[in-house]
Chain A
Amino acid sequence: GAVVSQHPSWVICKSGTSVKIECRSLDFQATTMFWYRQFPKQSLMLMATSNEGSKATYEQGVEKDKFLINHASLTLSTLTVTSAHPEDSSFYICSAIPTGSRGKSYNEQFFGPGTRLTVL
């Protein structure tokens, strides 16, 4: 159980276009999801916290108008990279925390498989 999927797994787009990445919790509901970005040979950097039914909370330095987050249901959050540029090329990973208790007291985050974005 506790599977998180992301779609697409990889995408190549032209500079200036927008790209939408979906994050789904397949067998649980998640009030809170997180979006991370990971550049090659670097660690995960938290971009924003996605909250179902309310606005996302962005980390310092992350442009909310460029990285649009929509958490429309308890199983789906989307990240849209608007007007993508080559410097946005990265590995985008989402994670989700199951709503309610699943036998773990420490609110483990379950990670999706990631989406590799390449902007030409």
Chain B
Amino acid sequence: GQNIDQPTEMTATEGAIVQINCTYQTSGFNGLFWYQQHAGEAPTFLSYNVLDGLEEKGRFSSFLSRSKGYSYLLLKELQMKDSASYLCAVREGGATNKLIFGTGTLLAVQP
């Protein structure tokens, strides 16, 4: 079956660095996405990994290890506005473009 796990909640301090992990076991794999979602709003795209390694984009970086079924999202220089849910999503193989979302991690940034 499809299984994508993330920690349910995390707390971090403003200005610090936080790493949100995602492990997945899916029948197919054609890329992994990270989205940010504020309460009651639509998810917004943060990053995409399809090959192993680190993708850096400003304060956000995402890492992928396909052999380990593992990814993480790294947020640097945390700001209060980064308080949100962070969703890991795996795209299945083939031409479907379907995304299977993880459980989501609710990040609380404290002063």
Q: State in angstroms the CA–CA spacing of A106 and B50 once bound together.
A: 9
Q: State in angstroms the CA–CA spacing of A34 and B45 once bound together.
A: 16
Among A46, A112, A116, the residue within 8 A (CB) of B98 is: A46
Q: Which segment of B13-21, B58-66, B68-76, B99-107 sits at the interface?
A: B99-107
Among B31, B40, B87, B103, the residue within 8 A (CB) of A106 is: B31
Name the interface size band of chain B.
Answer: 20 to 34
Q: State in angstroms the CA–CA spacing of A103 and B87 once bound together.
A: 24
| CB-defined contacts of A49 to chain B, threshold 8 Å | 96, 98
Q: State in angstroms the CA–CA spacing of A14 and B34 once bound together.
A: 36
Hey, which bits of chain B sit against chain A, CB under 8 A?
Answer: 31, 33, 35, 40-45, 48, 50, 87, 89, 96-104, 106
Hey, which bits of chain A sit against chain B, CB under 8 A?
Answer: 4, 32, 34, 36, 41-46, 49, 91, 93, 97, 106-114, 116
